[in-house]
Structures are given as structure tokens and as C-alpha cells.
Structure 1
């Protein structure tokens, strides 16, 4: 049997207000109808005409309405009529009819008309008083959303009735979960710690990039402990009125003490917890007062209260030092991007309840998504499901995951883009140059896919599949990356000539310049410069400091620039050398890309090993023309972005 829902006080109040309004409208309608009904339809004439018609015997009957100032009745021919009587204290219509022999009577509507007139005059005043009463009650705090309820806390309370989240729903952050299990045990059994004199940390600060699951992790702590969970954003404390934020902090903590043991979660705490004493904006004093109140409330906790504060931020460097001292947020928990094992577990969580094909290799998908956060992986699975539905499939296959990853990383395919045959050929040889250099450089990553199908701003790309998550890179791997990136530019020079080189290698040149600059100025991999860090503290390149008081002398800057140029030039020459020696492989791969448009790593290996071309069924999207070809009657447009893209 379904449980009957009891209306809340707020709903009852709303029903009462609407009931009163409907009642008043009905009364106004009834009064207007009664007044309207008192007036009969028919010919209207003046009082002087009425006198004339009475004298001429043209009036059959009359009905006098003294309060309304009207005379109604029937003419001799049976038609109704209406006469407006002048507003005088006497009864002129009665005097005219008295000696005429015409039957007449007085309308008995004095009391009804008086009530109607009274209601019409008082009703607007009653409505205004009622509205004023409702507004005044809200201003006094009768409703949480009232006009003067700024000081009310905006924290939302999530209890067990809400969808419960546990540690099983959070994957890829095992170290963070281990740190928070102690908090869960304290909330479940505080005496286990207090009898030994131990004090649980008052606050835990979750630090990590966006999308790594900090909010979900805090909810999982409350779900594991089975306690109420208050959630609020740091920006909810900030208002234009001084003292409002502090009032909200006081109310939030007072409410939390009533529901203890419980958890308070403050998301994006850097919005209210920034360093004090910086800036002169109008809201600065308000933010500082809010932060001061937060510090005071955290100091006021006792170990037995059972209230734990968890906050999240991706900018711990801007937080006030007073927040991070022992006794407040004295435990900082890193929530980084998940590693390959973590990504695999996160994908398994988001694949629950979805029809996944047996061919889908979760480990392979996890390998191809380094740097993805939990939110990115959730989006990847959702995009794969959308693609499968669009293709009228009953299950999500590996192809959907591949296409979804490409879409998330590089944008949707631009199959409607018009390209000339010369542009397609340029793109094919450019991408083939990346692939051939990568296959012949020690320390390079395995090739996952090469394609000349435009995506986003790129007209083509070569993707690489790392075998593991790379925490650091060796000098050999960096040199290999630079040579692979310069392979596209070298391919254009060798195949089309010096004057036909396009701007398609712009992103490749930027990538190589970043690597070479970091090798020289940060990682100490230049023998000429030595193991010295020349990067500025403002996170800009070393050139930004020259000429404005930097410690880098012009002579040193010249040496650094020379070393950066040497690394890039050597990578370019190495790419030209490989393409010259492997010209047959390079041309064969470019021609295959022009025909098939997309080749997997295994297909590229088979093609270069024994000349085996891909065998694909008819109707495969990878063999259909990617773009509409146009005659080569114009010069090729510059390619916005090209080069190798690491998966």
C-alpha cells in the first residue's frame, strides 16, 4: 500500500494563500454579475424623453431603482427600455408616473446594492493589507526564501533518504579513500578514539584538479558512516552586504551541531578562504569577516561534537595560512588524476547497468586515456552510449569507445569540410611523415592510429598508445618526441618542395619549442647550460625576465636560445634523414592513407612489413570519403593544426 504523503507547512501556507485569492476573485465576480444583472437590455433614453413618452401613453410598465438611479420596464409595443434618473434626493420618476395610471413598482435591492458597493470599496484595501502581511512575515524570517532571509544558510542537507553514495561508487582514488576511512570510523564509533585520548582532525582538505571526484568522495564518507551530509559552495557565503556571510556560517554550524554526528562539505573553499589583506574591492571586508567567522567556528569545536568539515579546492596555494594550521584543515588529502588501474576501475563503475559488448577491453580503453579525470571518463562512456544508440545498436562495442575517445579528445569529425585533392595529399604525406619517424626512433611510443579525417581544428593526426602512465621522461624519449613532431614539416619539404611548405606544422613547432625550452631551462639536459633552472617564478619562460630586472644576463640568454635552437634543428634534421632513408615506406603509408583515410597501428605495421592492405567490409565508414573533393584550381589552404597527437 502506497504511503500517504503529508503536506509540509510551507505547502499548507501556499494552499491557504491561493484559497484566499480565489475566494476574493469569486466575490468580485459575483458582485459584478449582480450589478450587471440589475440592468436590463433595451432602448435607452433620457429622463425628459421618459416624461414625454409617459404623457403620450407609450409606457406600459415601470420599475424604479432609487439606489441605482435607473428606471426599467416595457414600452407599449413590448420592447424593454432603460432610463437614467438624475441623482437627486427626491423621486422624480415616481412623481411622473403617479398620476399617469401606468403601473410601476420599486426595486427591492437596497440591501444587496449596499453590500455590493461596500465590498467594491473595501476589497482593494483588504487585498493590499493581505499582501503586506505576507511580505512582512517573510521579512521576519517566516520563509527561508523570504525577501530578507540573506543571513539564512544555503547549505543543503542530504540524508539517507537521498541517493546514498559509498566507497564502492568511487574508484581511482584509493590513497584518498584510505586517508578518509579513519574519519568514517570516528563518525561510527567516536569512543574508539576518545578513550585513548586521540583527537580526530577537525577538517580535511581535498586538493586536486577539477573532475577528479572530490565532491563524490566527500559524499561517500557520509554514506559509509550513515550520517547527515551538509553541502555548500564557498561562493554561497559571499554577498554584497557586510555581515551576511558570517551570519550564514554561524547558522550552518549551529544547524550541524543539531544533527551531529554529521559532515559539512564546503566546495570551492578558495572563493571565501583566500589570503586576507590583499585587494581593495568593496566586497573584500565582507569576505574577510566571513573567513574570520569560519575560523572561529572551527576553533569552537570539541572532539566529542562529532562534526567533521571536509572542503575541496583546486587552488590550495591561494588559501589563507590560518585555515591550514593544526586544529583546522590540518589534513590535506591529494586527489590526483587516476592512474591506469584507477581509470580501469572508474570505467567499470560507469559501465554498470549498460549493455557492453563482450569485445570491449576495459584495460585497453584505460591505456588510451592518460590524463583523463573521473568526469572525463564518465563523459567518455556516455558519448559511447550515445553513438551506439545513434547507430541503432543493441550493445556498446569497442568502435563506439574508440570514436567517443576521439570525439572527447579532438572534437567531432568534420566530414562536410570541402578540401582539394592537393590538400588531402598534403595531409596524407604530413601524417605519414609523423608515423614513419615515430616507428624508426628509439624511445618513441607505439602508434595507435593515423588518420586524415578532420577533427576539430586538425585536418589529420597520428595518435600514440602509451604502454604505461609516464611519470617522468628520459632524454631519449624527449628527443624522439621532438623528431616525431618535426616529421610532418620535413615530409612537406621533401615531397612538395621548399616553396610549397604550409602552416600545418604550427602546432608541431610549438610542441617542439616547449620541450626544448624545458630541457634547457628546467630539466638541466643541456651540457652547455648545465643543470641550472632558469624558469621564472611566475611560471613564464625565461625570455619574460630579460630586460626587466631578471637575474638572467643577456649572455646567458643568448646561450640558452642557442641551445633551444640546436635541439630543434637536430630534431628536424633527424626527421629528414629518416624520411629520406625510408622513402618507400613513407610513400606507401601516405598512399594508403589517401585510400583508406584511417589506419590502425596493426594495419600500419602489416603494410610496412609485407605490403598487406587492410581488408574491410563494404559500408565501413573508414573507407568512405571523409570530405567532399573539389577540383584543384586553387592553392591549398594552410592547415590550422597538424602533427602527432599523443593519446
Structure 2
């Protein structure tokens, strides 16, 4: 059912209500406030006070008599009504009272009309207009009224305010190298003009969230020592049609006035999405904003020193016209850092933290494969917070390793109550993972095993850390990973002859790898190198969609099931062959609750 909104009342309605309230206050409240200290008495009391010599001063008006008199050694103001009394003047004169007759002032009828009606209305209207402008200015995002609706909210930073340079950006050497040319142009434009080279009008920073795209843009401004305009793409889009386009015009106008400068648009996909959506209607305001942005980028001269930087983690959604040469000429990937990059980022963030001398960031960097710069900054901060909680003034290696686990699996659930039966099952499950991984030639070494539950829902976990970072995954490595995931469930089946829900996440991860092997990696004999799936969003979760018929999809599922079953049987075989070590290691883990990879391997290789 469509909800009908009540019609808004006109502005004159609120003016009328205000006038009525003011008149009521003027008639009833203000007189009480003004006259609260004047006491009314009868005429006889007034005469008695005159005869006793208490009255000092009297003002006689047409209808009232106001006088000052002493009462209990205190002078007060009294008021009484007038009566036809011919002797009142003689009585006051004999009592030596100072008295005057107040003559009402004659005023112009026109002046009375203006003061009584025109002036109040003028004040109310002026006040209403002022309040309306203030409200509109706040609601519409302007600075102070309708004339500022099209003003951009771009924040201008200068080098001394940010203090960010390329030294503050670690782990992105390739991106810094690509942007260094822009910095050099802003410093020395002549050498580019002499040879006839044109600096790129714009550079698009693309990469996953938390990799430092915004930080890089600020570093370019800091290195160049030029004004830095920063604005989010969502700030251009408003509920009023034409507002976004007006803000784009204003932003580029400000940039031209302050050239040389850098304009940075964060999350540009908010206004730069492809206009070929295939759906009727669409967001006209967003498209108008995009059209205006395209026009402005064509209209300004990059030789003046205005460089446009933009950032997004959804480059596949951007309009093709925005990415053509002459607009965003250069695409700068800002990817997740490698091992060396992670170690450099940890060192940058740890520079402000007090550390023990034996801290090894290489161990932490190897344990955080796939972490972004923001994740690594969070790990350093979590380690510092843990040190404070434990009453220490320096961060230790143990603090850093624990903070890695906090980011990966959450905080320890110290008050969780787990029965001995469940704890035994969890122990066999985790040792099953570790034992299967250790007995395969293409698996990463076991770093840590724990059965302490975490706030993420994990009842325990086995951490593996590669000695060297790899960028490719072979078919053998993929199969060994799936087999390792199957190790926990296989241990439950061998020891308890049943299965539990503890392997739910293992099953999910193993299925993902098996599906990728078949649909994207070409590691299936059935489909060879046929592409069956495409990645829609590589930087935000990597969602995929099948590109095959229903019949082929059924065959894909069968091939995935075949891989998983084969790995499952391999895990069972490995554990059956090492059942004695499975019991021995589980007993040790149950006693210690947490063991290191070195402890695990020393027991595994020791002779029984």
C-alpha cells in the first residue's frame, strides 16, 4: 500500500503561529515579569501611608497612582487606582511629598501603526528568511544558502599539514616509481615541454582495500609540495539533480586557480560506473555528474600543472570513456605487498612503538601472507595493546605473534566451557591436519597448533607458514592443500568412527580450491584448459560466475567431487599409517593446549 505523506504547510502558517505566541506573551507574561515587584493597594491604604509620612514620591496618571513608600525600613513601589478626591493635592503638599502629574505623550497614528504592525512583521520575515537559508545551507551541503549549493566540499591540504612523503609508504615500490614521474613534472615541467612530452592528465590507482591508495596520493602531494584537493566520489552525488555536476565544475575551477596542484577523487566508482548498464531509466544524477567530469577532464590543460588522481577497488565497473587516453592515461596497480613489502610495512608502523631488541619481523611477514598494509598496521597496534594489558612497556615477539592470531582468528575465549570429550575430539582433529600436512612433500611447514577457542568461532586451528613466498600454485600443491583440509575429518572418522560439525570450514575451503582447479586453473583432465568460470570482482572477495550450460555445470560438480573424494581417501591413508603418532601427539596437545611447530616435529620424527 502506498503511503501518502501529509502536505507540507506553507511558511506563512508558521509566521502566523509565531505572531500569536508573541502577542500572548506580550499580553499576559511580559506584564507579569515587568510588574512582579509593584504591589497593588487600595486608595485608603495610600491615604493612611501619606498621613503617616511614609510616602516619599508620587506619580499621578489618568487611571493609576504609583508611589514609593517606606515599609519596615525598606522602600517599595506601590500602585493604586485614582478617585475623584479634590483634597489629594493639599494632603500631599502638607505631608511634604514630591508629586507629579504624568501627561501622556501624543504620538503619530502612522508611527503607532508602523511600530505595532509593520515592524513586527518585518522582523519576523527577516528572521524566517535567515533561518531558511541557514537550514538549506546545512541540508544541501553548501556553505550558507542557495547560492552555495554547487560548491564542492573538497578538502585542501598543503604539504606542511600532511607531512606525508614516499618515505612513509612502504611495500609499493612499483607504484611509487610510476608516480615519481608526476612528482618530477610538477617540480621541473620545462624539461618535459622542451622535448614535447605531455604529462598524463590523470592516474588511476587500483587495488584491494587497505593497500595504501589514498596514502600514495597524499605522498605525491607531499613530495611535490603543491596544494592537494581531496574528495570522495560519493560526495558529488546528491538528491538534487544537477548538484553533482555543479560540484565537479567548482572543484576544477578551484584547481585551475591554485595550479599547480593535485586533485584526488577517492572511490571514483561511486560516480564513474559504466553507463551501459542495460537497464531503462538509471541514475540520471550520477550520469550527469560523470558526463561533467569527462567534459572537465577534456577541458583543462595538464601543462598548467593540474594532475588528477583517483582510487578505486572496482576498476571493472568504470565507464570506458573515463579510462581512455587523454583522461586517466595511466593505471597504477597498488597490489597486496609481497614478503619484502610486508616486512618493510611492519618496520614503518613499528617505528613509533617501543620494541624488544630480539623482535624478528621476517617471521611475522611470513605468517601474514595476503595481508594488506592496513592489516599489518592493525597487527602492530594489537601487539602494543597486548603489551600494555600485560603491564609491559615494550612489545615482544610473542606479542606480535599473538596479534597475528587475533587478526586471523580473533581473541581467545578464556571463559569458554568445553567438555573433555569435545576437547579430545578437537585435539585429534587439529593433529589430523598437522600430521597430514607434515607427511606431504608440497605442504607448508606447521608453525603452531592450538585447541584454545577463539571469538571467530574456531575451536582450534593449525597454522602453517611457508619458508619462502610463492606466487604460483602447482597442481600438486593444490591437491596437498585439499588433503590437509581433509585431515581433521579423517582423524575423527578413524578414532571415533563418526563425524562432527567441526570440519564445516575445512569443507568450504577445500571445495573452493577444487572448484578453482576445475573451472579456472585448467587442472582437470576432463575439461583440460577450457575456461568455465570468470572472476567478477578480483579486489573485493573474488566473486565468480559460471559460463557454461546446466549439463556442463553438472559435469563440473562431478569432477570437483572426484577430486575431494580422492584427497579424502589420501588423508585417511596417511593417518592410518601413522596412527601411533596421531595418539601420541594428541595426548601431548591435550595436555599443553598450544604447541609450536618445532615441538610437533620433534615428537613426530622421534622413534616410538
TM-score normalized with structure 1 length: 0.79
Query: 1:573/1:79 Cα in 2 relative to 1: closer, same or farther (>3 Å)?
Result: closer
Whether the 8 Å CA contact 2:536–2:543 is kept in 1: the answer is no
How much has 1:523 moved relative to structure 2? 2.1
Show CA shifts across 1:113-136 (max 9, x none).
Answer: x9xx99999997897577568658
What residue number does 1:64 align with?
A: 58
Query: 1:521/1:281 Cα in 2 relative to 1: closer, same or farther (>3 Å)?
Result: closer
Query: 1:183/1:544 Cα in 2 relative to 1: closer, same or farther (>3 Å)?
Result: closer
Show CA shifts across 1:323-357 (max 9, x none).
Answer: 11111002111100010111111111111132111
Are positions 1:399 and 2:398 aligned together?
Answer: yes
Query: Which sits farther off after the overlay, 560-569 or 199-208?
Result: 560-569
**Secondary structure in structure 1 of the residue aligned to 2:418:** strand
What residue number does 1:483 align with?
A: 483
Which of 555, 577, 580 is the matching residue for 2:576? 580
**Secondary structure in structure 2 of the residue aligned to 1:599:** strand
**Alignment partners' CA distance in 2, 1:453 and 1:585:** 21
Whether the 8 Å CA contact 1:201–1:327 is kept in 2: the answer is yes
5 Å matches for 1:425-574?
A: 425-455=424-454, 456-498=456-498, 501-535=499-533, 551-552=548-549, 554=551, 556-574=552-570
What residue number does 1:104 align with?
A: 97
**Alignment partners' CA distance in 2, 1:146 and 1:228:** 25
What residue number does 1:316 align with?
A: 315
**Secondary structure in structure 2 of the residue aligned to 1:506:** helix
Count of aligned residue pairs for this structure pair: 564
What residue number does 1:167 align with?
A: 166
How much has 1:374 moved relative to structure 2? 0.8
**Alignment partners' CA distance in 2, 1:464 and 1:563:** 28
**Alignment partners' CA distance in 1, 2:544 and 2:145:** 55
What residue number does 2:190 align with?
A: 191
Whether the 8 Å CA contact 1:64–1:93 is kept in 2: the answer is no
Whether the 8 Å CA contact 1:50–1:83 is kept in 2: the answer is no
What residue number does 2:420 align with?
A: 421
**Alignment partners' CA distance in 2, 1:229 and 1:212:** 20
Show CA shifts across 1:242-276 (max 9, x none).
Answer: 22111111111111112111110110111111122
Show CA shifts across 1:382-439 (max 9, x none).
Answer: 1111111111112111001011111011111111111111111111111111111111
What residue number does 1:20 align with?
A: none
How much has 1:150 moved relative to structure 2? 2.1
Query: 1:526/1:54 Cα in 2 relative to 1: closer, same or farther (>3 Å)?
Result: closer
**Alignment partners' CA distance in 2, 1:277 and 1:110:** 85
Show CA shifts across 1:584-620 (max 9, x none).
Answer: 11111111111111111111112223389xxxxxxxx
Which has the bigger relative contact order, CA under 8 A and spacing at least 6? Answer: 1
How much has 1:52 moved relative to structure 2? 7.4
What residue number does 2:364 align with?
A: 365
How much has 1:530 moved relative to structure 2? 2.9
RMSD: 3.8
What residue number does 1:633 align with?
A: none
**Secondary structure in structure 2 of the residue aligned to 1:240:** coil
**Alignment partners' CA distance in 2, 1:93 and 1:404:** 98
**Alignment partners' CA distance in 2, 1:70 and 1:535:** 101
Whether the 8 Å CA contact 1:40–1:72 is kept in 2: the answer is no
**Secondary structure in structure 2 of the residue aligned to 1:409:** helix
Whether the 8 Å CA contact 1:40–1:80 is kept in 2: the answer is no
Query: 1:333/1:66 Cα in 2 relative to 1: closer, same or farther (>3 Å)?
Result: farther
Whether the 8 Å CA contact 2:228–2:263 is kept in 1: the answer is yes
Whether the 8 Å CA contact 1:434–1:487 is kept in 2: the answer is yes
Are positions 1:151 and 2:147 aligned together?
Answer: no
Query: 1:293/1:542 Cα in 2 relative to 1: closer, same or farther (>3 Å)?
Result: closer
Unaligned runs of 5+ in 2: 1-28
Show CA shifts across 1:426-477 (max 9, x none).
Answer: 1111111111111111211111100001112100000110223332211111
How much has 1:178 moved relative to structure 2? 0.9
**Alignment partners' CA distance in 2, 1:502 and 1:359:** 42
**Alignment partners' CA distance in 2, 1:303 and 1:543:** 39
TM-score normalized with structure 2 length: 0.83
5 Å matches for 1:632-647?
A: none
